[in-house]
Structure 1
Amino acid sequence: MLETKYDAIIIGGGACGLMCAVQAGYLGKKTLILEKNAQVGAKILISGGGRCNYTNYYTTAQNFISENEHFCKSALSQWTVDDTISFFETYGITGQEKTLGQLFPTSNKAKDIVEVFKQICDDFGQDIYLNSHVLAVEKLDELFKITFERNGKTETLYSFKVVMASGGLPIAKMGATDFSLKIAKQFGLQVVQTAPALVPLTITGKDADWFAHLSGNSMPAVVSNDEISFEENILFTHWGLSGPAILQISSYWRPGQSIVIDLLPHQNIQELIEQERSANGKKLLANYLALFYTRKFIDALSDILPTHKNLASLTKDDFTAINEFIHHFKVKPAGDKGYDKAEVMRGGVDTNELSSKTLEAKKVPGLYFGGECVDVTGWLGGYNFQWAWASGFVIANSV
């Protein structure tokens, strides 16, 4: 029998991998994290602008995109938002709600989240090998053989259980790879096509200069397509559109499709103008729109709407144009900014290949997949962390 001293070897020291090691420690299990970077939790540290939106009060299965919309329910019920909040509070991290249920540490420091995991791993004697690049995962009867490179040397370890928690493709400079997907395919598991998600959208062609001119302008909006809508801010950029509402809709957008933006949610621009012109018909449309938008945005509208007219002289056709632009601004993005600017990856290991209760591969006993590499993609706002904590927890209970 080949020697193994670990109950499980965890490949990837991100949110899922760290939670898995910690929860395994609570159960008296010995694990090893193999982390490619020089520190664990690299993506945690940069999340939320270094503040880490670590969960969301309102998490439900409806906040996730997957070919099987029910798959995440089991993990999310085994490790709830309340569990996440209690876990961190136990270690001195209290949360503060920002917007739409988003919870951040009151310290506003993502490193505090990572320090919790490092401390607990140390307390339980869970091993962490940094700068460890896994080269291969092989199955030898009941054991897995893991070959990795560390400090310029190739090493080999054996374990009955292997946890693939190496994340997805976004942000290559943080060490992101498709290694978990390669391992899944190596063992004959299906992978749902991947793409950047929660990512800015680009505009090219004849409209590119118009959008670029508005770079830096942010405003509340409702952004929608045939499937879903989101109400948050949008941000005009040099390359197109960003901001929370755009990042959200990007996960549901496909090349060739359009999105529709309501630039004045919950109000009717025609009714507002008609009310104003009954009292002040001489006011220019440009001056009236200044109540809602920046001067730069109104200047840009002069190419599209009759901003030079006074309100009293607006015609039926003018109102049609105003309504259409303000409430039904149709945009056809050319593409997205890719994995380097994406928050997460859409797609991943097909959920049909995994047990929803344990996240173990049905075809390969002892092989687990958790976190971002699975075809479960959360909305912006702490949902992806909640999935990572939950998947790490359920795997720990099984290994």
Structure 2
Amino acid sequence: MDVDAIIIGAGACGLMCAVQAGYLGKRVILLEKSDKPGAKILISGGGRCNYTNLFATDEQFISNNKHFSKSAFTQWTVEDTISFFETYGISGKEKTLGQLFPDGKNAKDIVAAFTNICEDFGQQIICDAQVSEIEQTAAGFEVRFDRGNKSRSLKAPKLVITTGGLPIPKMGATDFALRFARKHDLKIIETAPALVPLTITGKDEDWYAQLSGNSVFCEVSNDRISFEENILFTHWGLSGPAILQISSYWKRGEEINIDLLPRQNILELIEEERKANGKLMLSTLFNRIYPKKFTDAMAKFLPIEKQVASLTKTELELIQKTIHLFKVKPAGDKGYDKAEVMRGGIDTNELSSKTLECKSIPGLFFGGECVDVTGWLGGYNFQWAWANGYVIAQNI
């Protein structure tokens, strides 16, 4: 078949690449191992799809080369993403912290936009395609794949690998890109689950479990970064936006700090109550700030059944430290089953930042999650995927 490129992986990056190639009059074929394209798009944001972030810049991404993403984001901006989707009837509605969701639509509409455009341009998407072998030829690449009981092969001068990362195996996640890269001696930055809940074991395990389902607005930090959002207590530890964010910067064995009242000072609140009503119980004050279950649980650490007027200097110091510097040492994380993205991946030094072409294998491109660029929670990783798809399409 006479095509300009074969794209392996019909996720966010692969679909955008096919569409942008179509605008340029280029013909591509997408091979997808799942039974439908955009599987991870469809489950993102609980099916609502937080498809970009108004504040996305290269600053919200983790990589061994923090400058690598700048070129892609210069070539394809957040405004480009918004305009692209608006052209196809999908306008954005900001939820919080710049997160854009389709207004009145959902993830299915996002995927449908791509598949409809692909159909208009004659870009073929072949699902249930299990790639078995890739061979470099004098004219480019030959890709062999199995579909049902039949084996087929395709040839093209350019090859694009956008097969994502390791999270959510049940949705078809695969290490295909990493295996292919290793086979061709490309360097891989160590991978790990990112944007993932953290687990607590040991003597404090039951304390966290009893709070399961309770959410508290906090500032979560380590010595490298901090995030101010909600945390969610679970039967196995901690989740919620702030925890998912910090997990991308957490390494096993490290502590994280939690400020349980980031925008106020607990001692100032206590002092105000002492002046107004010294007989007020500390638990009553806490119940104005936190869920009752959380207040009750704090009895393990604090004298919550004392009147604020009778709190000693030592007790006040303990309250200050507990509320504003609550230390947690997670045992681990929930792994790729619960992670939203993968940290690490193909070393950016192996790729051109301007084109995403592999330096040592001309005509080969990698994009999206399999590359060592990992964004924050809140639409950032989709923005990276869209930008990659656009950049690669210009160069295939």
Q: Mark yes or no: TM-score above 0.5.
A: yes
In the alignment, the residues of structure 1 paired with residue 105 and residue 294 of structure 2 have an alpha-carbon distance, to the nearest angstrom, of 33
The one-letter amino acid of 1:141's match is A
Q: Is the 8 A contact 1:52 1:108 kept in 2?
A: no
In the alignment, structure 1 residue 152 sits paired with structure 2 residue 173: no
2:270 is the counterpart of 1:278: no
Partner amino acid for 1:96?
K
Aligned twin of 2:208: 211
Per-residue deviation, residues 140-177 of structure 1 (Å, max 9, x unmatched): 23421111111221111111111000000000000001
Matches for 1:46-85 after TM superposition, within 5 Å: 46-85=43-82
1:187 paired with 2:184, answer yes
Cα distance in 2 for residues equivalent to 1:219 and 1:303: 18
Match of residue 35, structure 2, among 1, 25, 38: 38
Q: Is the 8 A contact 1:53 1:102 kept in 2?
A: yes
For residue 318 of structure 1, give the secondary structure of its aligned residue in structure 2.
helix
Length-normalised TM-score, structure 2 = 0.99
Deviations 1:63-96 (A, max 9, x none): 0000000000000110000000000000110000
Residues of 2 paired with 1:99 and 1:39: CA distance?
30
1:339-350 correspondence runs (5 A): 339-350=336-347
Deviation per CA, 1:222-266: give whole Å up to 9, x if none. Answer: 000000000000000000000000000000000000100001012
Following the alignment from structure 1 to structure 2, what is the Cα–Cα distance between the partners of residues 231 and 295?
22
Q: Which residue of 2 aligns with 1:140?
A: 137
For 1:7 and 1:239, how far apart are their aligned partners in 2? 49
The corresponding residue for 1:17 is 14
Determine if the alignment matches structure 1 residue 170 to structure 2 residue 163.
no
Match of 1:323 in 2: 320
* In the alignment, structure 1 residue 252 sits paired with structure 2 residue 210: no
Q: Within the alignment, does 1:107 sit opposite 2:116 as a pair?
A: no
* One-letter amino acid of the structure 2 residue matched with residue 169 of structure 1: L
The one-letter amino acid paired with 1:62 is E
Q: Distance in 2 between matches of 1:275 and 1:346?
A: 46
Out of 220, 236, 254, which is 1:223 matched to? 220
Q: Give the structure 1 partner of residue 118 of structure 2.
A: 121
SS in 1 for 2:261: coil
- 1:108 to partner: Cα distance: 4.0
| Sequence identity percentage | 66
Return the offset for 1:204: 0.4
What residue ranges of structure 1 are gaps of 5+ in the alignment? none
TM-score, normalised via structure 1 length: 0.98
Q: Which amino acid aligns with 1:133?
A: Q
Deviates more, 1:49-58 or 1:142-151: 142-151
Note the C-alpha offset of 1:303. Answer: 1.1
Deviations 1:253-309 (A, max 9, x none): 000001000010121101110110112111111111111011111111111100111
Q: Which residue does the alignment assign to 2:83?
A: 86
- Contact 1:18–1:117 (CA under 8 A) maintained in structure 2: yes
Which of 368, 380, 385 is 1:388 aligned to?
Answer: 385
SS of equivalent residue, structure 1 residue 302: helix
Counting matched residue pairs gives: 396
* 1:287 and 2:274 are equivalent in the alignment: no
Give the distance between the partners of 1:383 and 1:303, measured in 2 at CA: 39
Instruction: Report the aligned-residue RMSD.
Output: 0.7
What letter corresponds to residue 154 of structure 1 in structure 2? S
Query: Structure 1 residue 376 and structure 2 residue 373: aligned?
Result: yes
Q: Distance in 1 between matches of 2:27 and 2:148?
A: 23
Q: Which runs of 5+ in 2 are unaligned?
A: none
* 8 A contact 2:90–2:105 mirrored in 1: no
